[in-house]
Amino acid sequence: MRKFGLIGYPLGHSFSKKHFSDKFEKEGIKAEYELYPLEDIEEFPALVKNTKGLEGINVTIPYKESVMKFLDEIDEKASTIGAVNTIKIQNGKLKGYNTDYLGFKNSLVKFIGANPMPSNALILGTGGASKAVQTVLSDLDIQFKLISRNPQTDEFSYQHFSTSTPQHSNTLTPQHLNTYQLIINTTPLGMAPKIDELPDLPYQQLTTDHFLYDLVYNPLVTAFMQKGIEAKCWVKNGLEMLHKQAKASWEIWNR
């Protein structure tokens, strides 16, 4: 029996098992897809060694970067991004890929639709998913700024938006959300079961010209998206991105 699965922690929010299990049943594929919650990424080598028939792994929060040290090879695009969300296991060798890139890019272009592509974006979070988003925006010539709880040079803290005076020692000045037509949440804030959480932004500054994209897909309408709905923004969750990256993962595992 062919085996595939997802690593991350926690995994109670994930739709991946249902997505692939439904696919296997519908298409008559003899394979299994399991969830492998790892409290520590150091458990990964033992999982691979002890799981007979394992051919492919998806990677989610918080291991898209830390898993890379265990791989024998990394695809060029994934290396450029600096994060891996898909691993192919063949002849005992592990190769990492990033299908978040294609999933997000195709979904974003569809989301914007006939509207002009935004010229400026704000990316919430700096983890593995954020890195794929950053690469997509760069390739689409969209300028962006990162916002983080622990900002590095040229990154914003949430306080740059929620107060009139920056709370950190860097030289960045306070910002207004009007500067960024596209706002993308790459953090797990709002993900089930903590569905009431959301990034700390001045949502009263949102306008009907804003596009809010949340990579979280469970729940389907996040607290972040609800703020956009109330302001009559364009909003989208990460479910389509999940489906597109999963399709790309399956193609990688079967080529």
Residues with catalytic annotation? 64
Of 242, 195, 196, nearest to 219 by C-alpha is 195
CB-based burial label for 2 (10 Å; 0-12, 13-18, 19+): middle
Calpha distance 236→227 (Å, rounded)? 12
Of 213, 230, 215, 219, nearest to 196 by C-alpha is 219
Tokens at residue 174, please?
């306070």
Whether the CB-CB separation of 148 and 185 falls below 8 Å is answered with: no
Tokens at residue 242, please?
């999940």
Whether the CB-CB separation of 248 and 102 falls below 8 Å is answered with: yes
Whether the CB-CB separation of 244 and 115 falls below 8 Å is answered with: no
Calpha distance 146→121 (Å, rounded)? 9
The DSSP secondary-structure symbol of 179 reads G
